[in-house]
Amino acid sequence: MTFDTTPQTRLDPRYSDPQATATTWAEAEALLREAELFWISTVRPDGRPHVTPLPAVWADGALHFCTGPEERKAKNLADNPNVVLTTGTSTWNKGYDLVVEGEAVRVTDDGRLRELAAAWEAKYGSSGTSRCGTAASTTARDTPSSSRWRPARFSASVRGSRSARRGGGSRDVRPRSRSMQMTLEVILLPVSDVDRAKEFYRDKVGFHVDLDGEVMEGVRIVQLTPPGSGCSIALVDGLQVPTGTPQPGTYHGMQLCVTDAKAAHEELTARGLDVTEPQQFAPQDGATFMYFKDPDGNGWAIQEYRRRETEPLHQVLAQLSAE
């Protein structure tokens, strides 16, 4: 089986002119190759953002940049490799904007470092090479190192085009890869009364109502999201799910996460939610739970993770798996 790794480009219709066309990947690559100054955004261990300008080289489908081990961005990337690089022009009616998201990986292969040093010199001259050091020095722990950063998401807008003149155009470029990325977005929750369930999750649990409307004839969807969550629940009336429609009250084990179970319990009970007292099943963080059910009997657990307040989720899980 072969895989097409050529990125696909598409417009976001919410922010684009109906007659606009997406920037091609070839155009985007050309802009990345020619851009001389980028702004890198990383996250400090305490959660505060850090932004600084730097040069970068686009090669073999990835952006490459340099940093010393004691620099702020290097320390940030050691804790959280997720990064955003932006470039573009500062004019309003013409020019372009590029935003690339991905995960930074340190380059240590001596041969590859020599190739990158040559690419830096070709683009920036001898000053660019001295900034990142020679291929030999970049492998040392106390000298600048090079990081490779293959984008997971890319967006570009070109001002002065039809889409820009009519309110802005956002292009979304997502490379196809052998390792497909997925996000859990919505859980279809079976309920017998959509209005009653909406009132329960909004008023007693504190979920935010994102959508309440008829998405097609005879089908109403109410979508609600827990505060701070990337995943939502959907209450549906009139929709038959092709894989099978579960019965109300049959969902159990859905889990919410808070950083302070006692404070959450006080807030939820003040809202009128019938939730159990927090139970600590073990001394370590993450072992305290409380439970509640909705009017149909769908069951939820609320877990306390105090570390989530100061540490990213991927770091918490990595440390737990190593214990």
In this structure, the dihedral spanned by the alpha carbons of residues 122, 123, 124 and 129, taken in order and rounded to 10 degrees, is -50
Query: How high is the pLDDT of residue 5?
Result: 57
Q: Is the pLDDT score of 140 beyond 50?
A: no
**Higher pLDDT among residues 236 and 181, named by residue:** 236
Nearest to 51 by CA among 62, 38, 42: 42
Average pLDDT over residues 112-137: 67
Under CATH, what is the fold of the domain 8-174? Pnp Oxidase; Chain A (2.30.110)
Q: At 71, is the pLDDT very low, low, confident or very high (cuts 50, 70, 90)?
A: confident
**Higher pLDDT among residues 289 and 96, named by residue:** 289
Q: At 59, is the pLDDT very low, low, confident or very high (cuts 50, 70, 90)?
A: confident
Q: CA 139, CA 113: separation in Å to the nearest integer?
A: 8
CATH 3.10.180.10 maps onto the chain at: 186-322
Q: Is the pLDDT score of 31 beyond 90?
A: no
Q: At 94, is the pLDDT very low, low, confident or very high (cuts 50, 70, 90)?
A: confident
Q: Is the pLDDT score of 180 beyond 50?
A: yes
Residue 164 tokens, joined: 């820009």
Residue 225 tokens, joined: 């999201």
Q: Measured on CA atoms in the order 122, 123, 124, 128, is the torsion positive or negative?
A: negative
Query: How high is the pLDDT of residue 132?
Result: 58
Q: What is the mean pLDDT of the chain?
A: 78
Least confident stretch, 68-72, 102-106, 295-299, 318-322: 318-322
Q: CA 174, CA 111: separation in Å to the nearest integer?
A: 29
**Higher pLDDT among residues 292 and 100, named by residue:** 292
Query: How high is the pLDDT of residue 245?
Result: 77
262-295 per-position pLDDT tens digit: 999 999 999 999 999 999 999 988 899 999 999 9
197-226 per-position pLDDT tens digit: 999 999 999 999 999 988 888 889 999 999
Q: Is the pLDDT score of 64 beyond 80?
A: yes
Average pLDDT over residues 256-263: 93
Q: Which range in 28-32, 225-229, 274-278 is most confidently predicted, on average pLDDT?
A: 274-278
Average pLDDT over residues 21-29: 80
Query: How high is the pLDDT of residue 201?
Result: 97
Q: CA 312, CA 315: separation in Å to the nearest integer?
A: 5
Q: Is the pLDDT score of 259 beyond 80?
A: yes
Q: CA 122, CA 144: separation in Å to the nearest integer?
A: 19
Q: Measured on CA atoms in the order 249, 255, 258, 261, is the torsion positive or negative?
A: positive
Q: What percent of the chain has pLDDT over 90?
A: 29
Query: How high is the pLDDT of residue 314?
Result: 59
Q: Is the pLDDT score of 166 beyond 80?
A: no
Q: At 172, is the pLDDT very low, low, confident or very high (cuts 50, 70, 90)?
A: very low
Query: How high is the pLDDT of residue 312?
Result: 59
Least confident stretch, 171-180, 207-216, 228-237, 256-265: 171-180
CATH 2.30.110.10 maps onto the chain at: 8-174
Q: Per DSSP, what are the bridge partners of residue 256?
A: 302
Q: At 1, is the pLDDT very low, low, confident or very high (cuts 50, 70, 90)?
A: very low
* CATH class as words, domain 186-322: alpha beta
